[in-house]
Structure 1
Amino acid sequence: MKYIHYNGQPTMVADEVADAVIEYAAVLGSNDKTDTVDVPTFDEAGQPSIETVLIGPASQITLSPAPEDELEFQSDHEDFVRHLRDLGAAAGPARPVHEDRNLDASSSAR
């Protein structure tokens, strides 16, 4: 589980959801575009919920670890992640380079 910190508030989401949201935000930002996204979240009681987030070049989104629990294994967000990746591909040609992926690519090239 991870927290998406948006507008000063933490929201608990599955790892793959958090990663897809921040990657999409980076693509939108690099293409000077804005979008709203209905993010599948969990409320304080651990119940599934939806939070609508406005993402654009001025968005300040951060991720942090959340306590791991059984919610992570009950979540199935494959369609949401695929949808955000498709939107990212359609948003424009610029792609951000994620530091960890860049390091992985450079170390495998050696």
Structure 2
Amino acid sequence: MKDIHYASRAIRTTDGAADAVIRYAAVLGANRKTDTVDVPTFDDHGRPGVETLLLGPASLITLSSAVDDGRGDDVDDAAFIEHVRRLAVLAGPVRPVHEDPDAQAGGLGDFD
């Protein structure tokens, strides 16, 4: 589990979903675009939910490891990650400087 720190809040989600969101934000920023994304999340009691994040050049988000208490271990986030990966490819050709230009999926790096 990871927390996405956004708008002075910690938003708990899976590792894969958090990594996909921050990579998409980087691609959007590099291409001077904005978008919203509905992130699958968990509240403090482990109940699933959705948070809509506005991402773009001015996004100030960070990720941190969250205490893994076993909640959400059965969540299938593959469809969300693939959706965000496709959005990043469509966002534009410019990639952030930290992205590996030889990575698969249009230079998006490893989403595992």
TM-score, normalized by length of structure 2? Answer: 0.85
Percent identity, please. 56
Shift of 1:43: 0.7
| Counterpart residue number, 2:90 | 90
Partners of 2:26 and 2:51 lie apart in 1 by 19
Shift of 1:72: 4.3
| Counterpart residue number, 1:12 | 12
Computing the radius of gyration from Cα coordinates, the structure with the larger value is 1
User: When the two structures are aligned, how many residues end up with a matched partner?
Assistant: 101
- The question of 1:76 aligning with 2:76 is answered yes
Partners of 2:80 and 2:44 lie apart in 1 by 21
Letter in 2 for 1:35: D
Q: Is the 8 A contact 2:6 2:62 kept in 1?
A: yes
Partners of 2:43 and 2:58 lie apart in 1 by 26
| Counterpart residue number, 2:48 | 48
Shift of 1:71: 2.3
Shift of 1:74: 1.1
**Residues 72, 98 of structure 1: CA spacing in aligned structure 2 closer, same or farther, 3 A cutoff?**
farther
Partners of 2:47 and 2:92 lie apart in 1 by 35
Letter in 2 for 1:74: D
- The question of 1:22 aligning with 2:22 is answered yes
Question: What runs of 5+ residues in structure 2 fail to find an aligned partner?
Answer: 102-112
Shift of 1:24: 0.2
Question: What runs of 5+ residues in structure 1 fail to find an aligned partner?
Answer: 103-110
Shift of 1:73: 2.1
Partners of 2:78 and 2:15 lie apart in 1 by 11
Q: Is the 8 A contact 2:42 2:72 kept in 1?
A: no
Higher helix share: 1
